[in-house]
Structure 1
Amino acid sequence: MYQRTLPPFPTLGVFLEYLKAQGELETIDAPVSMYLEITELHRRVIATHGPALCLAKAQDRQGNKAQMPVVANLFGTPSRVAAGLGTDIEGLKGLGQMLAWLRSPQPPQSLREAHSLLPAARSALQARPRKTARPRKWRDLDPDFSLLPVQTCWPGDAGPLITWPVVITRPPGADDPASYNLGIYRMQVMDRDRAILRWLPMRGGAAHHRLWQSRGEDMPVAVVIGADPATMLGAVMPAPEGVSELALAGMIANRRASIAPCATIPLHVPASAEIILEGTVSPTEVALEGPFGDHTGYYNEAESYPVFTLKRLCLRDQAHYLTTFTGRAPDEPSVLGITLLEVFKPLLRQAIPEIIDIWMPPEACSYRIAVISIAKTYAGQARRVMMGFWALLPQFSMTKTIIVVDDDIDIRCWADVMWAVSTRMDAARDLLVIDRTPVDPLDFASPLEGLGGKMGLDATRKIGTETRRNWPDGLVMDASIAEQVTSRWHEFFPSDI
């Protein structure tokens, strides 16, 4: 089970100090433009698994210096994502086990098992957020988006884009933090006090908005730019049913999440927030959003989304503005996807126990292709795994292609995977094609927006009623011969090769 092994990071600033001490933060004193230049800088750094960046002299397109430092590439490596979750890469498995247990808790069967569940039980006690007074380090500014160093990522973008906003919404009724949804939805800045919120229909923010629309009322919305890492990562992780993102953040941080009241809307926000935008979203007003460069490597088409009206802008003393870009991998979303896959695995195995491992290549837009290895024991098992995977989590319903292989295949080695596809799959028998299923609306290969096909490739050895032919034995060298050649290697090649 998950146990936090790193010190607490109550704010983004504390986390940055930790990264600096680990040699994982680089401060850049040279001027960097928030118009395109920062994207190119970030692209080159993340491609080399480089450090997080703190831009001391960020500038707008006209060369005006920003009022605050800008942080980019914060979660640009798996190790920094794991650190934000309070652990290392190996510890992510324990976090996934805790989430799987919370999804379907089982009573312990022995004293040893009960002892192993203690960390999960302690974490569950951190689930309820704690309300606090408004921090004294917060100060109000004019509600003006131009005061923020908002990034323009790509030459063809429709305008500046807030790329790392934690958007907080709730349903109508009492202000109950247990009902909050925290999501990352990009925001196109339109003018001084208006921005467009892009949320897809299946997201929590969009579901809340539909409830407010049915009442014909403005929806209160708070946006946080920069917070403690547990809150930011909790907003992008798959919280178990009945566990809010704030509760998940408390479990990760090993302390109850502190939330403070907004001044102009009936909502609370994390007390760790660097920048807070308080406002409302109209039940009727929409505006054309985009086009913007996206994770597909293309510009998405312009579409209409709800308009956010800014009522209040609040900054923490010495606040940092957090930003990123989205494009073809590697980018931060792809790194987050690779890393959090380790957290998903226990949830997958809980639902589909025969799964041994899973790999979602970042080159395939992080989630559009999944390679899954299984311990196969009966005919038709690969298809069962495909159907279960697509139905398990909303994120997995966006996966277009699943390749299922046996557990002797290295799923991260494309040569191994292609060998399995070419030698263990018959196109007529082992290809599963499904039409008109939910897909990423940004997938321009689909014939209809949001609806497209899925493909499953059964590249496992065929058993039972799957085939009438005997499956041949694989080629494996005698172990003694392999050891003999290894021991004589320098005899064969004295100069080494």
Structure 2
Amino acid sequence: MHIVQTPDGSWTNWSITRGMVHDKRSLVGPVIPKQDIGVIHQMWKNKKEDMPWALCFGVPPAAIMVSGMPIPKWTNETDFIGALTGKPVEVVKCETNDIRVPGDAEIVIEGVVSSTETAPEGPMAEYHGLMFPGRSSDYPVFRVNAITYRQNPVLPVCVAGRATEENHTVWGVMIAAEVLTVCQNAGLPIKMAWCPFESHCAWFVLQVDLTQLKASGTNMKDFCTKVGHVVFGSKPGWYIPKLYLIGEDIDPTDLKDVIWAEATRCQPGTNEFLFEEYGNIPLIPYVGHGVKPETGSGHHRKVVRCCMFASEFGDGELHWEEGSFRGSFRGSFPADVQKRVEENWKEYGFAD
């Protein structure tokens, strides 16, 4: 967990990002301009000064969760954590700068992020699970001035890559939570937001309140366009390339349900709405390595895929029977038939 602070001390940011050992006394890592750490780093560069910095390992779970949540800029994560846990975060001052770190952190590395010096970093598999050998980028050097630690410290390890690992469970869940807040604050009839872990933080699923949707009198195109602008234009939306809209009969946390809805209800072209005016986080593999690389080209496409029938937007009769019916064992056969089959399951030669 990285901690940086604006030159005037009015904003302290806690965030999750990677770091690579550069040499005996320094690291190198991404400082992406659109992310909070990049915004604050630019403030220090404008002053022609290096940025004070701390890197903490083994922080409280609430701290690492909120550090992975795209809360609004100029909001201190410590305040947010305190609101969640109901008590202040206990912090202590670093040895070599004025940054304050969690008092019960296992290990703390402190120093400065250079405003002028860069070095090659990467490659790394990252949260998407793909590595491009020989590919690296120049990022700022993090110079280490001190390392402090508890007695017999524990160094937590996250093996970034194919799902499911902590990038997906921490980052994906917390982005989804913030997206839900953004949607509901905008008056959109969204009941739930979720990031399927298997999507590697590339798919976010929004469950629509059909009663509110019908009452609004909107149509598929207008609604999906509004959802896209609200979400993609928000801070958490920058991390999201693909949104899936589903109805109330689909469980957003069940990937099989989501795939079924997309496969059977999302008509190619007609139910897909592209947005080219918003950027994508450059860590998405196809952004820089796709057929048409998007880095620096301005073609930062995002998409809303509506996995709903057009009739769900109006008062007309739906195209399928609602309720418990589905083309499945549970939905197609009476309860007494289901019970008889289950009671004789082993006799049919099947295991439990």
TM-score (norm 2): 0.79
Equivalent residue, structure 2, for 1:17: none
CA positional deviation for 1:352: 4.1
Equivalent residue, structure 2, for 1:253: 85
Equivalent residue, structure 2, for 1:49: none
Equivalent residue, structure 2, for 1:459: 307
2:294 is matched by which residue type in structure 1?
Answer: L
- Distance between the aligned counterparts of 2:323 and 2:139, measured in 1? 61
- Distance between the aligned counterparts of 1:493 and 1:364, measured in 2? 34
Alignment of 1:459-478 (within 5 A): 459-463=307-311, 473-475=319-321
In structure 2, the CA distance between the partners of 1:412 and 1:321, relative to structure 1 (3 Å rule), is closer
Alignment of 1:10-409 (within 5 A): 166-173=1-8, 176=9, 178-240=10-72, 242-300=74-132, 301-340=135-174, 343-344=177-178, 345-366=180-201, 368-374=202-208, 375=210, 376-377=213-214, 378-379=218-219, 380-392=222-234, 394-409=235-250
2:308 is matched by which residue type in structure 1?
Answer: T
Structure 1: unaligned runs, 5 residues or longer: 1-165
1:486 is matched by which residue type in structure 2?
Answer: A
In structure 2, the CA distance between the partners of 1:441 and 1:412, relative to structure 1 (3 Å rule), is same
- Distance between the aligned counterparts of 2:340 and 2:123, measured in 1? 63
Alignment of 1:483-494 (within 5 A): 485-487=334-336, 489=338
1:495 aligns with 2:344: yes
CA positional deviation for 1:191: 1.5
What is the percentage of aligned positions where both structures have the same residue? Answer: 22
Equivalent residue, structure 2, for 1:53: none
Instruction: Verify the 8 A CA contact 1:383 1:458 in the aligned structure 2.
Output: no
CA positional deviation for 1:195: 1.0
- Distance between the aligned counterparts of 1:371 and 1:217, measured in 2? 42
Instruction: Verify the 8 A CA contact 1:230 1:250 in the aligned structure 2.
Output: no
CA positional deviation for 1:279: 1.0
CA positional deviation for 1:347: 4.8
Instruction: Verify the 8 A CA contact 1:369 1:401 in the aligned structure 2.
Output: yes
1:449 aligns with 2:281: no
Cα deviation 1:207-260 (Å, max 9, x = unaligned):
111111112112211222222333332322233565311112223332222222
Cα deviation 1:361-385 (Å, max 9, x = unaligned):
211112x112222123221323322
Cα deviation 1:169-201 (Å, max 9, x = unaligned):
11223xx3x521111221111121111132222
- Distance between the aligned counterparts of 2:58 and 2:343, measured in 1? 58
Instruction: Verify the 8 A CA contact 1:424 1:462 in the aligned structure 2.
Output: no
In structure 2, the CA distance between the partners of 1:430 and 1:493, relative to structure 1 (3 Å rule), is closer
Cα deviation 1:122-145 (Å, max 9, x = unaligned):
xxxxxxxxxxxxxxxxxxxxxxxx
Instruction: Verify the 8 A CA contact 1:280 1:309 in the aligned structure 2.
Output: yes
TM-score (norm 1): 0.58
- Distance between the aligned counterparts of 1:493 and 1:234, measured in 2? 45
CA positional deviation for 1:490: 5.3
In structure 2, the CA distance between the partners of 1:384 and 1:330, relative to structure 1 (3 Å rule), is same
- Distance between the aligned counterparts of 1:235 and 1:215, measured in 2? 26
CA positional deviation for 1:491: 5.8
Give the aligned length: 322
Point out which structure has higher relative CO (alpha carbons under 8 A, 6+ apart): 1
- Distance between the aligned counterparts of 1:494 and 1:283, measured in 2? 70
1:439 is matched by which residue type in structure 2?
Answer: N
- Distance between the aligned counterparts of 2:38 and 2:343, measured in 1? 68
* SS in structure 1 of the partner of residue 145 of structure 2: strand
Moved more, 288-297 or 354-363: 354-363
> CA RMSD, aligned part only?
3.1
- Distance between the aligned counterparts of 1:208 and 1:432, measured in 2? 34
1:388 is matched by which residue type in structure 2?
Answer: V
* SS in structure 2 of the partner of residue 201 of structure 1: coil
- Distance between the aligned counterparts of 1:170 and 1:495, measured in 2? 66
In structure 2, the CA distance between the partners of 1:418 and 1:257, relative to structure 1 (3 Å rule), is closer
* SS in structure 2 of the partner of residue 186 of structure 1: coil
In structure 2, the CA distance between the partners of 1:488 and 1:241, relative to structure 1 (3 Å rule), is same
CA positional deviation for 1:272: 1.9
- Distance between the aligned counterparts of 1:489 and 1:217, measured in 2? 71
Structure 2: unaligned runs, 5 residues or longer: 288-292, 326-330
* SS in structure 1 of the partner of residue 98 of structure 2: coil
* SS in structure 2 of the partner of residue 246 of structure 1: helix
- Distance between the aligned counterparts of 1:389 and 1:434, measured in 2? 11
- Distance between the aligned counterparts of 1:493 and 1:251, measured in 2? 48
- Distance between the aligned counterparts of 2:324 and 2:79, measured in 1? 54
CA positional deviation for 1:329: 0.4
In structure 2, the CA distance between the partners of 1:266 and 1:437, relative to structure 1 (3 Å rule), is same
2:268 is matched by which residue type in structure 1?
Answer: A
